[in-house]
Amino acid sequence: PIDKLSKITTSVYIGISSFDYGVRLQSNEDTIDSYLGTGTLLSPAAGRISYFLNLTGPSMVIDTACSSSLVSIHQAIMSLRSHESDISIVGGVGLLLEPSLSICFSKATMLSPDGKCKTFDDSANGYVRSEGCAVIILKRLSDAIKNKDNIHGVIISSAVNQDGASGGLTIPSGLSQAKVIQQAMLNSSIKVAEVDYVEAHGTGTSLGDPIEINALGEVFRDRNLKLKVGSVKTNIGHLEACSG
């Protein structure tokens, strides 16, 4: 029950990156009032949840662009493992409310001209912006079993790194991608032969997709069985900060 959360150390991690709502309101002086700051800044996206539910665990917004939601999950895992919190509310949100970023990305030739995401396809020509919001509740597995919770899945391991000086600010590093997957597997003692499926970033770009698939090839090169690789973005588009 929600009313019991305040009696449990509950953390909140929200992945959010876009600021369309703030841009729309700040562009018109007539819409600026005393609530503009708390209503348009990104930080209250987590703070409001903690305030409304009277939660006293760590509460923060995480913006690492397209990996914001997954990094939020990673931070929540660290918080649970260190017993900094006992329950974690983890969410991601990305809304398209203002055209400027779409125009910018279009001029940068990042978007698919035909509005179709073609992940790992020869005809891939850019990504498709989409919007969405998702929230999950994380607990230590032992606590979830003890409380007889409805367990939808178990996160065995996670890892985070950065590209460093790659070919450009928006160009991924295949070496870093391979390393972070290897680190996550090392943290959990999972072997390459035990992985059946990889949900890839797979945005449908002619540059990023080959880098990602080659990185996967490097990690799983000693595997004898075929590895299934896919991306939900082909069905729903790229949710950006909510991606993952």
Q: Stretch 225-244: mean pLDDT, rounded?
A: 95
Q: Is the pLDDT of residue 3 over 90?
A: no
Provide the pLDDT for residue 171. Answer: 85
Tell me the pLDDT tens digit for each residue of 36-47.
Answer: 888 889 999 999
Under 8 Å between Cβ of 231 and 201: yes
CA 243 to chain centre: 5
CA 67 to chain centre: 4
Tell me the pLDDT tens digit for each residue of 76-97.
Answer: 999 999 999 999 999 999 999 9
What are 48's two structure tokens?
Answer: 């409001």
Tell me the pLDDT tens digit for each residue of 11-26.
Answer: 999 999 998 988 888 8
Provide the pLDDT for residue 101. Answer: 93
What is the band of 137 on the pLDDT scale with cuts at 50, 70, 90? very high
Q: Is the pLDDT of residue 10 over 80?
A: yes
Strand order in the sheet with 87-94: 59-62, 10-16, 87-94, 132-139
Q: Is the pLDDT of residue 112 over 90?
A: yes
Q: Stretch 229-244: mean pLDDT, rounded?
A: 95
Rounded to an integer, what distance in angstroms lies between the CA atom of residue 77 and that of residue 100? 35
Q: Is the pLDDT of residue 154 over 70?
A: yes
Q: Is the pLDDT of residue 1 over 70?
A: no
- Give start and end residues of each alpha helix (H) in the chain: 20-26, 36-40, 44-53, 68-81, 100-107, 141-146, 174-188, 208-219, 233-236
Tell me the pLDDT tens digit for each residue of 42-64.
Answer: 999 999 999 999 999 999 999 99
38 vs 31 pLDDT, higher one: 38
Tell me the pLDDT tens digit for each residue of 156-203.
Answer: 999 999 999 887 777 889 999 999 999 999 999 899 999 999 999 999
Rounded to an integer, what distance in angstroms lies between the CA atom of residue 142 and that of residue 137? 14
Under 8 Å between Cβ of 92 and 68: yes
